[in-house]
Amino acid sequence: MTTATDTTVDLTRPDVHLHIGTDRRADGSAGVYEHVNPATGKVDKIIPLAGPAEVDRAVEIAHEAYKSWRTTSPAERRRLLLRLADLIEANADEFNRRGAMDNGTPRSVVANLTGKSIEWTRYYAGWADKISAEVTSTLTADGEFGYTLRQPYGVIGIIITWNGPLISLAMKIPAALAAGNTVVVKPSELTPFSGELFAELVAEAGIPPGVVNILPGDAAAGAALVSHPKVQKVSFTGGPVTARKILAACAEDMKPAVLELGGKSANIVFEDADLDAACGLGTMMSVGAMSGQGCAFPTRMLVQDSVYEEVLARVTAIAESITIGDPFSPTTMAGPVVNQAAHERILGVIAEAKAAGARLVSGGNARALAGELAGGFFIEPTVFAEVDPYSGLAQNEVFGPVLAITKFSTEEEAIEIANATRYGLSGYIQTKDLKRGLRVAEAMITGEVLINGASNLPVNRPFGGVGLSGVGKEGGFGGIDEFLRLKGIGIA
Ligand code: NAD
């Protein structure tokens, strides 16, 4: 199914700036980026790009602002961040509009992430005056009094990707600020509009200039930020290829980095599962709502042999019922993928899987739409069955609407297949047998496991993977602790 363009929405693209201290600049030394509307394939806005010179200036200003921000009372930091959360809430509709403009995610789907962003900002505001440390002296034999301090790092370099331009900011910036750090942020050049509004609201909230600096820029700006000697820690969301470069650059100064990377998460469907819920969740998350462009999505479905045919029939029916079209139409369930390169890459993965003998049961092609959307980067929800769990299709992240289904017989086999990738972000288990759910959850080598439910980024549960899925956590106390240095102090 497809939808048409919604002509009632204001599609004016906002201007984008470099936000450095009190400056709001319309140009950058790295030239410009031509932002393309993924739903039409046409350039819709020219974006300025920061170069190393602006990155350097932003870090210097953040370094200066750190001196007073770290001594700003925790209660004041909390107040300012709560004000920011209120402003995000007051501008939720605009963030939903911008999210859809940024990357083509349907506005209704962006709305869920905007709601989450408000929650994350409020949650970490609340941590600002609750950071404590420990007295350690009871553990010493020699009578020394010992204690610890949790201190901010200084300037944090934040680099994010394009699939959740607001939620990625909200998962990092409030925690970093609540802990007393200042930040220089480089959003993805592909998705500049949400970050622009976020920067404006930071100023409106009364957060002092220089505490948050946001610069649209490309890979070179990101590299300049990571290697800047005054950046004390890096927080990155993106892919493993870039993460390796970041780690290599960080090695020079032994700079720590939080790395939130990709995934190839298994969704194990046992024969006693609620199949309505299991198939709905597994299909909509993997090939629906965000066209498969989510790091924690269940993109490998492992199905017990006794219910395999039934699950396959249900998943296929759901995939074929997904309405693809204009991100601004209220009836659209899935929009385009982010850009032409992603469109070509994903169709290439599908072609390779077919050539390698995987059984295509649904989709598998570009979706051609009419009118304004004719040049858009749409791909049919695509389902492969009987996928060899050790094939490229099962092992590599596609980051597009492609689901790989594999059959298993026993619990042991399911665990073995689930753990047989280099990724380890999320794991999903569908069963009515709670004991089995708990057993399998313990055995899965992932950062999180969801039993009979969707990963919906709760603020207080740690999120972050193992293996190629990354290092470090966001969410809960662990998320703010990433932005605090632990120091031990002894008094003789
Ligand atoms: P990417 O790694 O190509 O780019 C991410 C960011 O890094 C962009 O802002 C880019 O400009 C910047 N960058 C590129 N080269 C750089 C360099 N050498 N130094 C510093 N910065 C550099 O990732 P992508 O393709 O934009 O994003 C897709 C990936 O992100 C997927 O793997 C997806 O799973 C992952 N992701 C992870 C999470 C999570 O929280 N775990 C969330 C969303 C997306």
Of 305, 257, 292, residue with least CA distance to 397:
292
Average pLDDT along the chain: 96
- Per-residue pLDDT tens over the stretch 390-447: 999 999 999 999 999 999 999 999 999 999 999 999 999 999 999 999 999 999 999 9
Query: Residue 188 in 3-state DSSP?
Result: coil
Nearest CA to ligand 1 atom 24: 238
Query: Residue 233 in 3-state DSSP?
Result: strand
Segment 366-376 mean pLDDT: 95
Of 134, 28, 40, residue with least CA distance to 325:
40
Q: Label residues 151-189 b or e (16+ Cβ within 10 Å = b).
A: bbbbbbbbbbbbbbbbbbbbbbbbbbbbbbbbbbbbbbb
d(CA 17, CA 20) in angstroms, rounded, equals 9
User: What is this structure's pTM?
Assistant: 0.96
Nearest CA to ligand 1 atom 37: 261
| Residue found under tokens 């820029």 | 217
Q: Which atom of ligand 1 is nearest to the CA of 470?
A: 41
Q: CA-based Rg of the chain, rounded to a whole angstrom?
A: 23
Q: Which atom of ligand 1 is nearest to the CA of 474?
A: 40
Verify whether residue 250 is a known catalytic residue.
no
- CA of 215 from ligand 1 middle (Å) equals 16
As a three-state string, the secondary structure of 134-185 is: CECHHHCCCCCEEEEEEEECCEEEEECCCCCHHHHHHHHHHHHHHCCCEEEE
Q: Which atom of ligand 1 is nearest to the CA of 425?
A: 41
Among 59, 105, 161, say which to mutate for ligand 1: greatest number of ligand atoms within 8 Å of CB.
161
Q: Of residues 189, 250, 295, 448, which has the active-site annotation?
A: 295
Give the number of C-alpha atoms closer than 13 A to the C-alpha of residue 139, restricted to the C-beta side: 7
Among 242, 295, 349, say which to mutate for ligand 1: greatest number of ligand atoms within 8 Å of CB.
242
Q: Which atom of ligand 1 is nearest to the CA of 226?
A: 20
d(CA 205, CA 455) in angstroms, rounded, equals 30
Which residues belong to CATH 3.40.309.10 in the chain? 266-458
- CA of 218 from ligand 1 middle (Å) equals 11
Nearest CA to ligand 1 atom 10: 219
Region of residue 366 (phi > 0: left; psi between -120 and 50: alpha; otherwise: beta):
beta
pLDDT value at position 1?
Answer: 53
142: confidence class by pLDDT, cuts 50, 70, 90: confident
Indicate the DSSP class of residue 369.
-
144: confidence class by pLDDT, cuts 50, 70, 90: confident
d(CA 302, CA 278) in angstroms, rounded, equals 11
Phi, then psi, of 47 in degrees rounded to 5 = -115, 135
pLDDT value at position 9?
Answer: 74
Of 314, 305, 311, residue with least CA distance to 417:
305
Query: Residue 471 in 3-state DSSP?
Result: strand
Whether residue 179 is predicted with pLDDT greater than 80 in this model: the reply is yes
Tokens of 115: 């709601």
Nearest CA to ligand 1 atom 4: 238
Whether residue 353 is predicted with pLDDT greater than 70 in this model: the reply is yes
Parallel, antiparallel, or unpaired: how do β-strands 257-260 and 231-237 relate? parallel
Verify whether residue 279 is a known catalytic residue.
no
Nearest CA to ligand 1 atom 18: 223
| Residue found under tokens 């049961």 | 361
Tokens of 133: 């440390």
Segment 300-320 mean pLDDT: 97
Nearest CA to ligand 1 atom 21: 222
- Per-residue pLDDT tens over the stretch 13-25: 999 999 999 999 9
Burial class (CB in 10 A: 0-12, 13-18, 19+), 148: middle
Tokens of 381: 């929800």
7: confidence class by pLDDT, cuts 50, 70, 90: low
d(CA 76, CA 374) in angstroms, rounded, equals 51
72: confidence class by pLDDT, cuts 50, 70, 90: very high
Ligand 1 binding pocket (C-beta < 6 A) is 159-164, 186, 188-189, 218-219, 222-223, 226, 237-239, 242, 245-246, 260-263, 295, 397, 399, 425, 470
Fold classification of 10-261+470-491 (topology level): Aldehyde Dehydrogenase; Chain A, domain 1 (3.40.605)
Question: One-letter amino acid identity for 281?
Answer: L
Q: Which atom of ligand 1 is nearest to the CA of 238?
A: 30
Q: What is the CATH number of domain 266-458?
A: 3.40.309.10
Whether residue 78 is predicted with pLDDT greater than 80 in this model: the reply is yes
Segment 66-89 mean pLDDT: 98
Question: One-letter amino acid identity for 367?
Answer: R
CB atoms near residue 67 (< 10 Å): 11
The DSSP line for 64-132 is HHHHHHTTS-HHHHHHHHHHHHHHHHHTHHHHHHHHHHHH---HHHHHHHHHHHHHHHHHHHHHTT---
- Taking CA atoms, 353 is separated from 72, 392, 462, 491, in Å, by 56, 8, 34, 64
Which residues belong to CATH 3.40.605.10 in the chain? 10-261+470-491
282: confidence class by pLDDT, cuts 50, 70, 90: confident
* pLDDT cut 90: percent of the chain above it: 93
- CA of 404 from ligand 1 middle (Å) equals 23
Cα angle 392-395-398, degrees, rounded to a multiple of 5: 80
Question: One-letter amino acid identity for 446?
Answer: T
Whether residue 294 is predicted with pLDDT greater than 90 in this model: the reply is yes
- CA of 225 from ligand 1 middle (Å) equals 14
- CA of 119 from ligand 1 middle (Å) equals 24
Query: Residue 450 in 3-state DSSP?
Result: strand
Whether residue 488 is predicted with pLDDT greater than 80 in this model: the reply is yes
Parallel, antiparallel, or unpaired: how do β-strands 257-260 and 182-186 relate? unpaired
Whether residue 230 is predicted with pLDDT greater than 70 in this model: the reply is yes
Nearest CA to ligand 1 atom 26: 161
- CA of 412 from ligand 1 middle (Å) equals 34
d(CA 47, CA 15) in angstroms, rounded, equals 8
Query: Residue 302 in 3-state DSSP?
Result: strand
d(CA 455, CA 438) in angstroms, rounded, equals 17
Nearest CA to ligand 1 atom 23: 238
pLDDT value at position 141?
Answer: 67
Phi, then psi, of 363 in degrees rounded to 5 = 70, -140
- CA of 163 from ligand 1 middle (Å) equals 9
249: confidence class by pLDDT, cuts 50, 70, 90: very high
Nearest CA to ligand 1 atom 33: 262
Q: Of residues 260, 448, 474, 482, which has the active-site annotation?
A: 260
Burial class (CB in 10 A: 0-12, 13-18, 19+), 56: middle
- CA of 203 from ligand 1 middle (Å) equals 27
Of 329, 480, 335, 305, residue with least CA distance to 410:
305
Cβ proximity of 165 and 103 under 8 Å = yes
Q: Which atom of ligand 1 is nearest to the CA of 243?
A: 2
Beta pairing partners, 155: 182, 231
- CA of 259 from ligand 1 middle (Å) equals 10
Give the number of C-alpha atoms closer than 13 A to the C-alpha of residue 458, restricted to the C-beta side: 11
Q: Which atom of ligand 1 is nearest to the CA of 186?
A: 9
